[in-house]
Amino acid sequence: MHAVIIGSGLVGAASALALHQVGIQSTLYDQVDLVQAAIKSGGVGAAVDFGDSGGSVLLASNALRVLKTLGLLDLVLASSFPSEYTTWFKINGTAKIALDAVNVMKSGGETDPALMAPVQILRSRLHNILMQACQKAGIRCYTGKKLVSITEIEIGVVAQFADGSTATGDFLIGADGIHSAVRRQLFGDSCKAVFTGAIGHIGVVRTKENNITLTETCAFYLEREKKQTAWTFKVSEELAAVQVMTFDEPQPAEGEEYRPYSNLPKESTRLADLMASWGVPKHVEEMMRKSFRISPAAIYDLPNLPSYNKGRVVLLGDSAHGMVPNAGLGLLTGLEDVGVLLELFRRFPDQKDLSKVLELYSKIRVPKGHEASQKSRDMAKQYYTGSSNMGHFLLRVGIFLFNHNWIKFGEVYDCPAEVAAAVAAL
């Protein structure tokens, strides 16, 4: 079989590698146009989705399990930094609350010591690892391919692109993100993602070079009543990421998310000054002020879809369940999608079982996608609404309960076990 994969981001590339493991060939197609990006840059280094853009991503146990299955765990661990604790502060750095992330993973059912500590890794570095693995596996990627239509034929599915070219496969995977063209082809414009009004400005800074000491690997600074939020993430002994949320800026053009600001001095000063006016700790302010790259990320939320599959087409990642980013839930859920699809094809490798695989995938993943999206929405609401003092107190109580195993933060998601249970229920 051959798969057409629309979108060559993290989930798209991981999907191609997963299919390669079970002998299914695939080709990646992405609308990003590297030539146009270079022209628009006017001679300045252009950073697009295939380059250094975005900040860090958190990979917890469920995501690491899938990467281990793909044979990439060692590379990822060597390129990341363990994040054994997640911490919350009031906006000025007082009233620390710490979640023991390792204990949470253990209580949730993780038994592999190598997977118990979540890790922080630059999004661009993780993407490079995945794309280099695709290249090594002989998986081709074509850029400048903007999808305009999908047509099912008797023997497969045809993708039509804006440049007049086509791609034909036995099935098609939509992994083209929150503004998925594949999703719109399947379900219409009524399933478009909704802009939440928030924009995250993500900076990456060389901490060692700028004499910035970062003691927390993952920290949140909150002033709920004023909707003031800043985050810091330690990626290595030399690098870290910082993010600040704003709610009063215009919605960026679709597809422009994560494109680094071209006027870095202006934006770094503006955002650092804003953070300073909030009273964030000095090192957090300096992280934004000294960032060598800042990327804006408009925050969208996707209404729950009733299905992730239609005919020979299936949705993975943000195409299926784009959610307000929180605790790495978006990428984690997307990699779970990849793991489930891989296990289904392991069990049903014959082409005659293709429809069964895609339908079962949707049946297994829709409830989980809805659950993760709602959890993410609830977390965002907790950060941006209510009394600061009461909200921080309730957060402290909740983290205490998690740390002492009185309630569980979550369960480890075992893709083979989930698929086995679904198959047994047939």
Q: Which amino acid is at 116?
A: M
Distance from C-alpha of 212 to C-alpha of 331, rounded to nearest angstrom? 29
In a domain, 264, yes or no: no
In a domain, 13, yes or no: yes
**Tokens 């990421």 sit on residue:** 241
In a domain, 389, yes or no: no
User: What Cα–Cα distance (Å) separates residue 370 from each residue in 226, 360, 364?
Assistant: 29, 16, 11
Report mean pLDDT in 10-residue bins for the chain, 426 residues. 95 97 96 56 40 76 95 96 95 95 91 93 93 94 94 94 95 94 90 86 94 94 92 94 89 68 91 97 97 89 92 95 69 94 96 95 95 83 80 91 88 92 90
> What total number of domains does the chain contain?
1
In a domain, 142, yes or no: yes
What are residue 298's DSSP bridge partners? 199
In a domain, 129, yes or no: yes
Within a 10 A sphere around the Cβ of 424, how many other Cβ atoms? 7
What are the two backbone dihedrals, phi and then psi, of residue 405, each rounded to the nearest 5 degrees?
60, 25
Cβ partners under 8 Å of residue 285, min gap 6: 272, 275, 276
What's 23's domain CATH number?
Answer: 3.50.50.60
Q: What is the CA 129 to chain-centroid distance, rounded?
A: 15
Q: Which DSSP category does 287 fall into?
A: H
Check if the beta carbon of residue 318 is closer than 8 Å to that of residue 299.
no
Q: In what order do the strands lie in the sheet with 141-142?
A: 141-142, 25-29, 2-6, 171-174, 313-315, 309-310
**Tokens 């927390």 sit on residue:** 216
Distance from C-alpha of 425 to C-alpha of 420, rounded to nearest angstrom? 9
Q: What is the pLDDT of residue 329?
A: 77
Q: What is the extent of the structural domain holding 320? A: 2-80+123-193+302-384
In a domain, 26, yes or no: yes
In a domain, 216, yes or no: no
In a domain, 10, yes or no: yes
